[in-house]
């Protein structure tokens, strides 16, 4: 079980899900994917998390991103649990949930927490870009629910990074000013970008690019 690193190609797999069998790469297509695991069905933290992801349906779509949940429980359990998620979260679960009883996906993505006394998956998140590369990973313990607003924010940042020679400052949010890469001179930045401000020779802000 190898640990995935940033820039690695996300492993492909075929799995049974609540939306039928999928081949991950074919399912993802040429967009982004948010692959996230949870320890078990019919558990309190997981119920709130999957409900939150469902409520963000339009936000994922706006970013050309698909979401895919993974659990080591069986497909029948997933289907029954969806009713609880929808009742608690107030939104329909329209994304697939992988039934990973053989731990194939969990092993591929190193989602099993050693020393925890069981073989359920921890709360991992993988952001995978249109080229199939792992661009961001997050791992939370089983007791701490994830902040999916942060997952969206990180996805926004990665998409801005890919749009030009830009990075993003601390606590950056979509639409805020970005940082011009040090490889671009201030003179060139002033010609190419809008609202350029030089704070330090190595720290220059510019207006966020528009689609």
- Cα distances (Å, whole numbers) of residue 71 to 16, 31, 46, 181: 11, 23, 10, 39
Compute the distance between CA of residue 186 and CA of residue 14 in angstroms, rounded to an integer: 48
Buried b (16+ CB within 10 A) or exposed e, 35-46: bbbbbbbebebb
Q: Give yes or no: 28 in active site.
A: no
Beta bridge partners of 180: 166
* Strand blocks (E) in 101-195: 123-128, 134-140, 166-167, 178-180
Q: Out of 10, 46, 98, 179, which one is annotated catalytic?
A: 46
Task: Copy the structure tokens of residue 14.
Answer: 């075929």
The answer to whether 97 touches 130, Cβ cutoff 8 Å, is no
Active site residues: 46
């Amino acid at each position: 079980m190898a640990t995935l690193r940033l820039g690695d190609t996300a492993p492909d797999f075929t799995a049974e899900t609540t939306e039928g069998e999928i081949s991950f790469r074919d399912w993802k297509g040429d967009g982004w994917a948010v692959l996230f695991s949870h320890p078990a069905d019919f558990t309190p933290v997981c119920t709130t998390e999957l409900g939150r992801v469902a409520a963000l349906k339009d936000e994922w779509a706006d970013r050309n991103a698909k979401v895919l949940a993974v659990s080591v429980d069986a497909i029948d359990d997933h289907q029954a649990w969806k009713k609880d998620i929808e009742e608690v979260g107030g939104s329909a679960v329209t994304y697939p949930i992988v039934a990973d009883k053989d731990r194939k996906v969990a092993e591929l993505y190193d989602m099993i927490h050693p020393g925890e006394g069981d073989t359920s998956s921890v709360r991992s998140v993988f952001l995978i870009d249109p080229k199939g590369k792992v661009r961001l990973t997050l791992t939370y313990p089983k007791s701490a629910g994830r902040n999916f607003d942060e997952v969206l924010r990180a996805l926004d940042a990665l998409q801005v990074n890919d749009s030009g020679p830009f990075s993003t400052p601390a606590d950056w949010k979509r639409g805020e000013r970005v940082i011009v890469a040090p490889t671009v001179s201030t003179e060139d930045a002033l010609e190419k970008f809008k609202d350029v401000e030089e704070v330090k020779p190595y720290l220059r802000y510019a207006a966020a690019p528009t689609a």
